[in-house]
Chain A
Amino acid sequence: MPDVVVVGAGVVGAACAYYAARAGLDVLVVDRGAVAGGTTGAGEGNVLVSDKGPGPELDLALLSNRLWRDLAADGPDGGPDGGFEFEAKGGLVVAETDEVLEALTGLAGEQGVECVAVAAGELGDYEPHLAKGLAGGVFYPHDAQVQPMLAAARLIRRGAERFGHGALMLRTGVTVTGFLRDGDRVTGVTTSCGDILAGAVVNAAGTWGGEIAALAGVRVPILPRRGFILVTEPLAGPLIRHKVYTAGYVTAVASDSEGLETSAVVESTPSGPVLIGASRERVGFDRTISVPVLERLARQAVELFPALAAYRVIRAYCGFRPYCPDHLPVIGEDPRVPGLYHACGHEGAGIGLAPATGHLIARLLAGLDPDLDLAPFSPDRFPQEAS
């Protein structure tokens, strides 16, 4: 019997499993599909500290950023990319207008994150192909990038290889259908492939985390927020050196609009293509492609990097970010259901925040104090009645 069953083999589940195994626990990861087949397989791989205002999410992001670096440096072959294309390339946030630049530098001041103000005339030193006429920007050396699918798969494998045979196992094609209980306490899960007894269960089911919670009779409101990404043809060399995006976001708080929002996030990848994100829409789990959204993403990218106009888009995909009403993830033991731990609802930052989430969950599972205040992420912070 494993000490812990982790539901979900996305990047968050993988990180939870890895750190739990490292803490000496026997871990079984189950997923109804394949490894990284959920939202982790539909994201972009940004590991950002630059985009978060001061507060609990930034603290989580900073911890996670450090942990990503450790995980990369600790890769099996000692290579700098950890086996998952980790690149500490830094992020350049650019402002279109002086007004936005002011807001951007203001935010940078409050964040307390290492950063460098970049004057308009210096932008070209960072990104030679950046459009002319931008007001300036801020460079965040800590922003990084990973290939999220590889990261999830390799973390699970690394954990299995490193922490003793049997300490970390993955079972794919196993759908969790309910919980085994002893009174209130969770003692395992029922699945499409039989019951699994365990000391604790971690709900790392991402966008479907609310469904898992419901199986345990508790409400954790997680909803899908659709996003599209454009993928270009492979480029011979990197056109874009850093992660680059526009600062428009600092002028708007996290939006609660149902409607379409887009902002340009552009980056080269080690495999050659440029990734262009990202849109946000609340349309449920609707996969139908929306050409106007793709057009808007293209326009924003070309406005930022005019040279991109000549390159072709060969692919587009969409995914569903797991979001909570207050845009914070759910991390911690559920006081209503002892033995059930949640690690889900990371919205558009689950890749970046995965290691910190895993690390914190592992500490809880091992009976240690978490080294970050988890109150803002508590599972019972939402009103119980359906909204």
Chain B
Amino acid sequence: MTRIHDLAVVGAGPAGVAGALTAALAGLDVVLVDGAGRPGGQYFRRPAEGFHAARPGALHHGLDRFTRQWEALRERAEVLLSTRVWAVERADGAITVRCLEGDREERPRTVTARGLLVATGAHDRPLPFPGWDLPGVLTAGGAQALLKGDLVVAGRRVVVAGTGPFLLPVAAGLADAGAQVLGVHEANRRFGLARHPLLAAGRAAEALGYAARLARHRVPYSGREAVIAAHGETALTHVTVASLDAAWRPLSTRTVECDTLACGYGFVPQLDLPLQLDCATRRDPDGGPVVAVDAGMRTSVPGVYAAGEATGVGGAALAEVEGRIAGRAAAADLGRPTPPDPALSRRRDRLAAFARALQGAYPLRPGWQDWLRDDTLVCRCEEVPLSAVREAQAMGAVDARSVKLLARPGMGWCQGRMCGYAVACLVGEDPAPPRRPIAQPVRLGDLAARARPAPDGRKTSSEG
């Protein structure tokens, strides 16, 4: 008999850990699953134990608080790290979570629970440009993850580009860690410190801190600029930086020699699991799909909750609050006495409003499409150039799905996680909710292992 938990939580970032702990404290039997080997998610990613970092919090605000939550959770719940979820199913009111355990062994493992909290966070949202697949070009989050998790500085001479407030901690972290940061190129307007949206979000200290650190390292921070091409034979040697008009069309360019580019245009929530369960989505202000939730972080599917970036990109503080709300709702729905906490809801509303304001302050403008040449890869995995996308459109592929069917962008290893946003823009639509029945690659042998043979061995015609 498999054990049936009350609540399975996927994601050990701020949302998942806060949600799991809240639910456990309310008396639920909780299991938390994360593919990473260490807790923290993206924001609270911390150096490997082998570093014995005395001050890991130097790289993020609020790590101590998170660590306390994590320690408290470990005493009250089952936690499965290095365990990736590749599918979730719902039948007869129970949720089956299919996992692969071990970062290379990938042993199949199944977790069953009455409820599910999806706290799978987000990944970087790249935009394509010539040369973006050269080694040395990283996503902004990737550079950050290398630093926070492995204490590896992404490069010696680094350019940071993209849009959004996230560029600042990335640049500041790299500079503090010893990289020469040659510039931060914000494609939108550069907000003077007095008007920076982070101030409105009540994160003045944070914003001032980044500004001071960048100033100390003499890192230029410019608005209406972007890296529109990366160059090099087998690795990055220089980039083309352009000044942009309001629509992000290049006005003038210059060349900057560098060995590393950290580039990101916001984040894409990871929705594979909730979409497998058919949870309803809504559009975030930036047009991208996010899980629709009620005031208790309940999705449209009974027993399924979502918190953190999966319900809209809003950062670690909002993620934690949402996790706590979800944990309380799950406990209440399973009959544990849980008095309402209006303060928590008000905090969520406030942080969510700030998140929307931030998204509004850093929109993506269509001029980036002018950065592409015919031979610029749009899809890295299947090496699909812009010209192939245009050819598919000319043949009647009028939406992103049919462009994918004809020209293959999004068909490869990453399943459109990297190119999906750009392809949708190129065909002029908002990105559709991604349908990925297999959220993590799974070996055929592992998939086969659980199958029972056909009941009567009968098979029928074969043609597919």
Contacts and interface: CB of A to CB of B under 8 A. Distances in A.
- Asked if the two chains touch in their complex, CB atoms less than 8 Å apart, one says yes
Interface of A: 9, 31, 33-37, 41, 43-46, 48, 51, 93, 149-150, 153-154, 156-157, 170, 172-173, 227, 229-230, 232-234, 245-249, 251-252, 254-255, 261-263, 265, 271, 276-278, 280, 287-289, 291-292, 294-296, 298-299, 301-303, 308-317, 348-349, 352
B451 A263 contact: no
Contacts of B401: 34, 37, 41
Contacts of B450: 295
A316 B437 contact: yes
A302 B464 contact: no
Interface stretch (B10-18, B142-150, B404-412): B404-412
Contacts of A93: 462
Contact of A51 (B435, B447, B457, B463): B463
A348 B395 contact: no
Contacts of B447: 230, 294-295, 298-299, 313
A298 B461 contact: no
Interface string B425-464: 0000000000111100111110110111110011111111
A245 B462 contact: yes
Nearest to A318: B437
Contact of B396 (A9, A263, A277): A9
B459 A35 contact: no
B406 A43 contact: no
Nearest to A172: B398
Given A261-B458, A313-B444, A289 B396 contact: no
A191 to B, nearest CB: 16
A309 B406 contact: no
A254 B463 CA distance: 12
Contacts of A295: 447-448, 450-451
Which of B87, B445, B448 neighbours the largest number of chain A CB atoms within 10 Å of its CB? B448
Given A51-B463, A315-B438, A292 B451 contact: yes
B399 A302 contact: no
B98 interface: yes
A383 to B, nearest CB: 25
B359 interface: no
18 contacts: A34-B398, A35-B398, A36-B405, A51-B462, A153-B406, A157-B395, A261-B454, A263-B461, A265-B462, A278-B464, A288-B278, A291-B87, A296-B451, A309-B443, A310-B443, A313-B441, A314-B413, A349-B463
B276 interface: yes
A179 B313 CA distance: 48
Nearest to B90: A288
Given A230-B447, A234-B413, A263-B462, 6 more contacts: A35-B397, A35-B406, A156-B396, A232-B444, A247-B462, A301-B444
Given A294-B447, A302-B445, A308-B444, A43 B464 contact: yes
Contacts, number: 186
Main DSSP-derived SS at the B contact region: loop
Nearest to A53: B461
A43 B401 CA distance: 14
Interface in B75-104: 87, 89, 96, 98
A149 B442 contact: no
Given A263-B461, A295-B447, A271 B402 contact: no
A312 B464 contact: no
Contacts of B411: 271, 315
B415 interface: yes
Contacts of A249: 459-462
Contacts of A230: 444, 447
Nearest to A93: B462
B349 interface: no
A34 B454 contact: no
Nearest to B275: A289
Interface in B244-293: 276, 278
A93 B394 CA distance: 39
B461 A51 contact: yes
A328 B425 CA distance: 42
A6 to B, nearest CB: 13
Contact of A315 (B98, B382, B415, B453): B415
A153 B398 CA distance: 12
Given A262-B454, A265-B462, A294 B395 contact: no
B112 to A, nearest CB: 13
B26 interface: no
Interface string B365-397: 000000000000000001000000000101111
Which of B442, B443, B444, B463 neighbours the largest number of chain A CB atoms within 10 Å of its CB? B463
Contacts of B395: 35, 153-154, 156-157
A313 B442 contact: yes
A34 B461 contact: no
A48 B461 CA distance: 11
